[in-house]
Structure 1
């Protein structure tokens, strides 16, 4: 193998890492797919739909209700209503018979009327329209606020999911690049073993050098196996996020690797995050809901008024004629004067909930400021790491080129060659890791700053 071939191999390793490319359309497609297929996000969306249905239920409480009630009963025994009609009328009737000298007016017995009818039915339509129901109004407001809370919960998880998909995709690409590098190193070491065997056959070196080079090849193969394991794990997690089979093949976009950006100032990032983070919106809605809950509990001390209209039929047998029907209208007022101080306790609990959420909101604001500061500094360090590893890779490549040439001319020991190769390999890996880690840090910063 010619010395310039060694140089070209690692020249490709270096130059492949320093290009700048635009956003990956493949990755964007995967993100859109994940948003539609991720099971955890579907659960959040279902919870949102449930809250919307609960809001519709709360609105329906303003509408009237119409019920059909039917009752048929049979009874025996029970209390009797005694009506002494005989005692009242018999003396009168007796006097009239004497005056008229006739038996025109009969003798009557006292009556005992059962309180329960032997059989009875009542069939009616009942129309109820709430007129004054403060609790219904506040309940609707609370349900509407809960929809806002869950909507922001969906947005929080979606933002996190998109960031996880992008980060895991970059991690997968990083493992591919590392595997490719180790394969090139493996090929280089195999060719070096062949070269050393030729030197041994020409009595230029002893066989211990060949043993050493084979041992180095075995170590690289072990590292390659470890890198392949990392690739499978990264692919499995990526497919998990997309709700796919863990061994589904991933389309690797190896065209792009590094995209440099100009980051806004830290104060601007903090302002963006405090303005746009859905977690803060959730807490703000929670505070509103607690205020509405206080009003709801206070409204329990107010009277309620309903309009009730009944139309139906009743009697001792089933008959639906004009002689059996009835109509009744009522205004039902209910006002709880004393409820055992239960409502006061509910108001206190709702007020404390509001205070707790306000404290939590202040704490979250401070946490977000800390998160933005930390993520921004991590991105800056990652960006600097790219520049550092680029310079290191360039130096390692030149150093290896020189040592490789000297080794083939017999002017350098194998241990010097191995040291140069190891330095170049580590520099190439560090460059790959730095590039993709920078992208991952940018993704995390964008998520935290809600950009």
Structure 2
């Protein structure tokens, strides 16, 4: 027996690398499918696209802005100015006409000019260009940092999604194997019913044993029904993560034994959380706050803009060489006093940066704790699984002995039921604990950020 077992183990060791690669590829396909189709991840990608759009907006402030502006005004009444042109010039013009014997100098009327424009228009194309503006420079820098922050947040959700997919997959396999265990238990119970019925027919059995067999079958049927419902629920949740139909088939061809053999190397490595996206998010947030602080400190920097107007203005809709014009200039804006608003903005930015530093330190301590806890949970799950393995071997041997003893008349039927129940519970516990180990390994993988998000 030992020779056969040794050969089987040796063969398994040769097949282990290919088995591990196959199961990793299986899970990787599901994870990549979730990366492509998960709704929440798609929302995160939209936020990333918005951050890219915000950067383009920030860049656009450095480009010239061209606008067409048009205004029309007309008025009557109000203040005016009296110009006695006729009284001042008509006598002189009359004398000049006599001297030149011509009418080259017509008589003028006194004028009254209104201050308000009447039937006046002004249309022009205005081009403006920022020449010196620190807000624009820091705005582009902060927008680029916002893109990096959004990219990290996408990776952060991907990391959590990987853990959830693996956990959901293992829970599905747990429920599926529980169904197989209960189906096997149901076959044993029906076999016991058949044996008791045969013994009763031959006058060697008891009717009470037959009733107990029927009760056992009904109990296992109820447990089997619950297990099948758990399979349905586990399948629905797993497909939800992949944004698929709830009833979509799941490939359960997964070698849990090969995966468990990788756990020991995982337990040997100390937990590390230096690459976690949470740190990167907080560091990026600190960098943004520091840039905001620097930008607020430069409030006293002047702003210089240039402008060029090309247009036409006149009354009564005239458009000619006299009405057309251009205007070129620069505008300098130097802040002097703004009610201490800039001072308080600087104080706010300093407090935000300080808060970010404290958040980094707090998160570092928390992640150290969660990493250590996840490592300890994996170790505890592994120890429980090892103990369950021995319990299963003992329960299987005990069940075989009791079944043989019952057939030979040395053990009672109650003992066979107890042995079958122990064996079924040991199988269930083994099934649960082996996937608890894998779920704990997925949690530790999440805490250490060791899964490669880029295939």
TM-score (norm 2): 0.88
| CA-atom RMSD in angstroms | 2.6
Number of residue pairs matched by the alignment = 430
Match of 1:22 in 2: 20
Deviations 1:213-248 (A, max 9, x none): 111111111111111111111111011111112222
Match of 1:31 in 2: 31
**Are the structure 2 counterparts of residues 197 and 241 from structure 1 closer, same or farther at C-alpha, using a change threshold of 3 Å?**
same
**Are the structure 2 counterparts of residues 254 and 265 from structure 1 closer, same or farther at C-alpha, using a change threshold of 3 Å?**
closer
Q: Residues of 2 paired with 1:292 and 1:86: CA distance?
A: 69
Q: Residues of 2 paired with 1:354 and 1:103: CA distance?
A: 87
Deviation of 1:82 after TM superposition, in Å, equals 2.6
Q: Residues of 1 paired with 2:415 and 2:269: CA distance?
A: 50
Equivalent runs, 1:12-411 vs 2, <5 Å: 21-23=19-21, 24=23, 25-86=25-86, 88-89=88-89, 93=92, 109-259=109-259, 260-261=261-262, 262-263=264-265, 268-270=270-272, 273-274=273-274, 276-411=275-410
- Long gaps (5+) in structure 1: 1-15
Deviations 1:198-224 (A, max 9, x none): 111222222011111111111111111
Question: Which range moves more in the overlay, 238-247 or 45-54?
Answer: 238-247
Deviation of 1:27 after TM superposition, in Å, equals 2.3
**Are the structure 2 counterparts of residues 230 and 173 from structure 1 closer, same or farther at C-alpha, using a change threshold of 3 Å?**
same
Q: Residues of 1 paired with 2:363 and 2:435: CA distance?
A: 30
Is the CA contact 2:55–2:140 (under 8 Å) kept in the aligned structure 1?
A: yes
Q: Residues of 1 paired with 2:269 and 2:399: CA distance?
A: 45
Is the CA contact 2:20–2:255 (under 8 Å) kept in the aligned structure 1?
A: no
Q: Residues of 2 paired with 1:82 and 1:283: CA distance?
A: 73
- Long gaps (5+) in structure 2: 1-11, 451-455
**Are the structure 2 counterparts of residues 166 and 292 from structure 1 closer, same or farther at C-alpha, using a change threshold of 3 Å?**
same
Question: Which range moves more in the overlay, 391-400 or 260-269?
Answer: 260-269
Deviations 1:111-165 (A, max 9, x none): 2101223212222121111111111111111111111111111100011112111
Question: Which range moves more in the overlay, 294-303 or 36-45?
Answer: 294-303
**Are the structure 2 counterparts of residues 64 and 198 from structure 1 closer, same or farther at C-alpha, using a change threshold of 3 Å?**
same
**Are the structure 2 counterparts of residues 263 and 86 from structure 1 closer, same or farther at C-alpha, using a change threshold of 3 Å?**
farther
**Are the structure 2 counterparts of residues 216 and 258 from structure 1 closer, same or farther at C-alpha, using a change threshold of 3 Å?**
farther
Question: Which range moves more in the overlay, 317-326 or 31-40?
Answer: 317-326
Deviations 1:335-394 (A, max 9, x none): 221111122222111111111111111110001100110000111111222221111111
